[in-house]
């Protein structure tokens, strides 16, 4: 692996490189350090959810309750349509770094929308002095795809990226981690972590924790000789420093939680959402997905299946699991708990808030992993949950048996998904995107052979949630720590973006039917809305350049199969374009150009 | 002049369509409707494999076993979902929804070819004639492992 750090390079060389378009007009960025990531200065957006605690909150207030109705488009930018868009942009020194499908990263001038550079895997050049060898068709084998090909459902997604020093870091569809020079868009190093031909890939990007690059892999549903993992890399060299197995292995602590299954039949635990970081405790919090196949009866064990469907607290220097909490031991309906960890101190108690597909809001002590409270929002019909201990038990008749239909809410799509919640310190509330749905589900068998496995088949009949009428979408606003309902907004179309809160007293969300909204975070009053080219999809952010606050809203298609299935089946009158991955940036009229 | 060209093109299309109606049709599609009667041929399955690799494999995998987002098209997982349903239902779903990024973008015959490849991959026997892209005929064929 390359031991090279770009500090300077000849301007003439940079001008010769085709991937650089506006380099000459853009001064070098100030290197980002740990203090910058921790400070989360208003105007910058250095972590995928704003701050290291994943609040999805901007401290900017130029756009506020009084003037949000005036928001106008400042600029927009079309992205590739080669895969799903679920972009979580970053902003530093006025440059927006946008992760696109299939590994493309584009640096845009945050005020004008001009392209500064773009990185295209296998096409962009290698930084001067770097001996990086980009993965090519020979290394990728069966996983190789033409650069312009559609990645496939759920593939090619690049949710978040990280910035540190003068580099951008990303995790690829080909199961590698890359470092890109943030000034030129040139590849500095590429570090493979697994064989993509076995299905391994990334959809979540890295985060930086105590100077380490922490990344979780996905694509672990098929039976193979290896299992899901989280790694720590040296951002400077790309060297893999540690690797922590998400699956408790036979003979190791927790290994018996999979019964007698050999390692190759312990699938799942995909780490497909990026984590959060508490620099005071020096702990990374990373979620893991459910075990695969989904149903216990198909997996061949009714054990807890550690460390699936858990929150892991990891030491970023060593990868050691300091504590874990398994939210749904032995999960058996595809009820993922992998999602974002929102770190909020409640009084003197450092807490972690999290919600999975079932719509249970978990509050954990993030120093110990102790359960503080579990608030069932009351939509699910699958488990009983103890509000104090967080212990869950399955309701009678709800354990799947092969070929027997069960009636469950939510559907296997879940109420909560990757669309991250936001926290506002102004209101002490969480703003949680929800999709309302239920399902008649019949789980089926799969072959227990190497290469087999997967999720297991499900005959599914989706139907609307009985509490929601014709509405599929909801923004649920819960006071914390009480968990009491503050207000809710419901819509026919699924709420399809992460939430963004701002110090202007606003919350921004968007829906599948192309609408983006600004609401009063206190009471849900609708203050502004407009309509984009396609579904609002991704992670909205806010930032400031030259004294102007901007709101950036990603729009996109693609994503998990169910994200299109539910509206297609339950709201067929809603139609959207087939493509349209893009980003739309809004400002007040005196600043919009 | 332009109108005459259009008439000529339309005429050619009608002629081709009419010709297509008299192409040999799989005997199974005409009569009994059993999936095990050799309702496609090997050449068609080979063509379907090429289409599959180009348009389907990125989601359903090269080996048809799928991934977390795309169901397996192979073996017991496939049969669990489709057993007892008609080939026409599967064909209709493919035409309406696949490929996910560009539904309906293959020709009808290409969809039938992919269907033939899926059947061949699931070890249903090939026969002499091709599976024809005829919705009503496909509706009469039941997907059954028996």
- A561 and B63 in contact by Cβ < 8 A? no
Checking if the pLDDT of A570 tops 50, the result is yes
Q: What letter would DSSP give residue A533?
A: S
All residues of chain A having their beta carbon less than 8 Å from the beta carbon of residue B68 are: 154, 218-219, 221, 270, 292, 454-455, 560
pLDDT of residue B112: 97
Both tokens of A428, joined, read 């002490």
- Rounded mean pLDDT of A411-420? 96
| Residues of A with Cβ-Cβ distance to B63 under 8 angstroms | 451
Q: Which residues contact A484 (CB under 8 A, 6 or more apart)?
A: A478
Chain B hits for A204, CB-CB cut-off 8 Å, are none
Residue numbers in A near B66 (CB within 8 A): 454
- Chain A residue nearest residue B104, CA to CA: A578
Question: What is the reported pLDDT for A146?
Answer: 81
Dihedral of alpha carbons B38, B44, B50, B55, sign: negative
Q: Is the N-terminal amide bond of A307 cis, ω within 30° of 0? A: yes
Q: State whether A152 and B77 contact (CB < 8 Å).
A: no
Q: Do B77 and A222 touch (CB under 8 A)?
A: no
Q: Per-residue b/e over A56-87, b at no fewer than 16 CB within 10 Å? A: bbbbbbbbbbeebeebeebbbbebbbbbbbbb
Query: Taking 60 as the threshold, does the pLDDT of residue B22 lie above it?
Result: no
Stretch (H or E) spanning A57: strand A57-58
CA distance B130 to chain A (A): 29
Which residues does chain A have within 8 Å of residue B76's beta carbon, measured at their own beta carbons? 444-447
Ordered strands of the A422-424 beta sheet: A422-424, A429-435, A473-479, A485-491
pLDDT surpassing 80 at residue B5: no
Which of A187, A325, A195 minimizes the C-alpha distance to A254? A325
Contacts of B73 in chain A (CB under 8 A): none
The distance of A488 to chain B (nearest Cα, Å) reads 30
Q: Where are the domains of chain B?
A: 26-139
Which of helix, strand or coil describes residue A439? Answer: strand
Percentage above 70 pLDDT, chain A = 96
Q: How far is CA A411 from the centre of its chain?
A: 20
Total beta-carbon pairs less than 8 A apart between chain A and chain B: 87
Flag whether the pTM goes above 0.90: yes
Q: Each residue of A481-506: b (16+ CB within 10 Å) or e?
A: bebeebbebbbbbbbbbbbbbbbbbb
Q: For A139-192, give the secondary structure using H, E and C.
A: HHHHHCCCCCCCCCCCCCCCCECEEEECEEEEECCCCEEEEEECCCCCEEEEEE
pLDDT band at A284 (very low <50, low <70, confident <90, very high): very high
Interchain pair B66, A447: CB under 8 A: no
Confidence of residue A593 (pLDDT cuts 50, 70, 90): low
Q: What is the complex's ipTM, to 2 decimals?
A: 0.84
**Rounded mean pLDDT, A48-57:** 98
CB contact under 8 A, B61 and A199: yes
Q: Are B139 and B33 in contact (CB under 8 A)?
A: no
Report phi then psi at B5, rounded to 5: -60, -45
- At A501 the pLDDT is 98
Q: How confident is the model at residue A25 (pLDDT cuts 50, 70, 90)?
A: low
Tell me what percent of the residues of chain B surpass a pLDDT of 70. Answer: 77
User: Hey, is A116 helix, strand or coil?
Assistant: strand
> To the nearest 5 percent, what fractions of chain A are helix, strand and coil?
10, 35, 55
Q: Can you read off the two tokens belonging to residue A469?
A: 């009428």
pLDDT of B30 reads: 52
Q: What is the pLDDT of residues A86-131, one digit of tens each?
A: 999 999 999 999 999 999 999 999 999 999 999 999 999 999 999 9
Q: Indicate left, alpha or beta for A418 from its phi (over 0: left) and psi (-120 to 50: alpha).
A: alpha
Tens-digit pLDDT profile for residues A230-248: 999 999 999 999 999 999 9
Sign (positive/negative) of CA torsion A99, A100, A101, A104?
negative
Does the pLDDT of residue A295 top 60, yes or no?
A: yes
Stretch B53-68: mean pLDDT, rounded? 91
Q: What is the dihedral of CA A262, B70, A513, A568, to 10 degrees?
A: -120
Phi, psi of A581 (to 5 degrees): -50, 130
> Distance between CA A93 and CA A176 in Å, rounded?
27
What is the CA angle A49-A52-A58, rounded to 5?
50
> A543-565 in b/e burial notation, b at 16+ Cβ within 10 A?
bbbeebbbbbbbbbbbbbbbbbb
- DSSP notation for A181-247: ETTT--EEEEEE-S-GGGT-B-SS--EEETTEEEEE-B---B--SS--EEEEE-TTT--EEEEEESS
Query: Which of A156, A455, A581 to substitute to test the interface with B, most B CBs within 10 Å?
Result: A455
Residue range B26-139, CATH number: 1.10.760.10
Q: Can you tell me which residue has the tokens 């003037």? A: A67
């Amino acid at each position: 692996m390359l031991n090279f750090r770009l500090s300077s390079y000849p301007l003439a060389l940079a001008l010769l490189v085709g991937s650089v378009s506006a380099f000459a007009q853009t001064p070098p960025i100030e290197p980002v350090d740990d203090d910058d990531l921790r400070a989360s200065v208003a105007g910058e957006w250095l972590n995928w959810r704003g701050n290291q605690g994943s609040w999805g909150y901007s401290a900017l207030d130029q756009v506020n309750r009084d003037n949000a109705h005036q928001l106008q488009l400042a600029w927009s930018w079309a992205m590739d349509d080669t895969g799903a868009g679920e972009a979580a942009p970053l902003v530093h020194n006025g440059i927006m770094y946008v992760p696109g499908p299939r590994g493309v990263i584009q640096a845009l001038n945050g005020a004008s929308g001009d392209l500064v550079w773009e990185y295209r895997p296998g096409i962009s050049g290698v930084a001067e002095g770097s001996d990086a060898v980009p993965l090519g068709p020979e290394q990728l084998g069966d996983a190789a795809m033409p650069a312009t090909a559609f990645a496939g459902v759920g593939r090619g997604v690049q949710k978040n990226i990280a910035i540190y020093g003068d580099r951008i870091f990303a995790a690829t569809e080909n199961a590698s981690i890359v470092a890109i020079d943030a000034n030129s868009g040139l590849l500095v190093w590429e570090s493979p972590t697994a064989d993509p031909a076995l299905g391994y890939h990334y959809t979540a990007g890295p985060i930086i924790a105590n100077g380490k690059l922490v990344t979780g892999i996905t694509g672990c549903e098929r039976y193979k000789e290896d299992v899901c993992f989280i790694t720590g890399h040296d951002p400077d060299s790309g060297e893999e420093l540690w690797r922590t197995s998400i699956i408790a292995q036979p003979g190791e602590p927790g290994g018996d939680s999979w019964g007698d299954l050999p390692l190759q039949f312990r699938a799942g635990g995909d780490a497909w959402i990026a984590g959060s970081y508490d620099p005071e405790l020096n702990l990374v919090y990373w979620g893991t997905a459910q075990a695969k196949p989904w149903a216990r009866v198909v997996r061949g064990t009714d054990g807890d299946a550690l460390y699936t469907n858990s929150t892991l607290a990891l030491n970023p220097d060593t990868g050691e699991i300091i504590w874990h909490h398994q939210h749904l031991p032995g999960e058996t309906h595809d009820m993922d708990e992998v999602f974002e960890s929102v770190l909020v101190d409640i009084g003197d108690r450092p807490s972690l808030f999290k919600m999975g597909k079932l719509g249970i809001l978990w509050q954990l002590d993030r120093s110990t992993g102790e359960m503080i409270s579990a608030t069932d929002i009351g939509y699910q019909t699958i488990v009983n949950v103890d509000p104090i201990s967080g212990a869950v038990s399955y309701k009678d008749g709800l354990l799947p048996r092969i070929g027997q239909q069960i009636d469950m809410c939510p559907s296997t799509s879940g109420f909560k998904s990757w669309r991250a919640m936001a926290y506002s310190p102004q209101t002490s509330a969480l703003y949680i995107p929800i999709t309302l749905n239920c399902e008649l589900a019949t789980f089926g068998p799969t072959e227990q052979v190497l290469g087999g496995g997967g999720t297991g088949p499900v005959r599914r009949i989706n139907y609307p949630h009985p509490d929601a009428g014709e509405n599929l979408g909801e923004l649920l606003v819960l006071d914390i720590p009480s968990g009491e309902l503050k207000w809710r907004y419901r819509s026919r179309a699924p709420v399809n973006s992460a939430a963004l809160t701002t110090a202007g007293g606003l919350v921004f969300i968007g829906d599948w039917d192309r609408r983006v909204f600004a609401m009063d975070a206190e009471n849900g009053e609708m203050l502004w809305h407009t309509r984009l080219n396609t579904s609002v999809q991704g992670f909205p952010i806010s930032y400031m350049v030259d004294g102007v606050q901007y709101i950036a809203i990603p729009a996109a298609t693609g994503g998990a199969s169910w994200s299109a299935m539910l509206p297609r089946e339950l709201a067929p009158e809603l139609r959207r374009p087939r493509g349209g991955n893009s980003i739309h940036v809004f400002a007040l009229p005196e600043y919009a150009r | 002049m332009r109108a005459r060209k259009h008439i000529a093109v339309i005429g050619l299309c009608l002629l081709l369509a009419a010709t297509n109606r008299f192409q040999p049709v799989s005997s199974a599609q005409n009569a009994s409707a059993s999936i095990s009667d050799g309702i496609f041929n090997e050449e068609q399955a080979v063509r379907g494999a090429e289409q599959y690799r180009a348009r389907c494999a990125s989601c359903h995998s090269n080996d048809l076993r799928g991934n977390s987002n795309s169901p397996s098209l192979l073996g017991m997982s496939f049969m669990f979902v489709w057993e007892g349903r008609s080939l026409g239902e599967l064909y209709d779903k493919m035409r309406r929804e696949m490929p996910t990024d560009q539904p309906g973008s293959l020709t009808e015959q290409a969809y039938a070819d992919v269907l033939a490849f899926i059947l061949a991959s699931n070890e249903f026997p090939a026969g002499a004639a091709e599976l024809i892209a005829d919705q009503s005929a496909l509706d009469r064929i039941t997907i059954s492992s028996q």
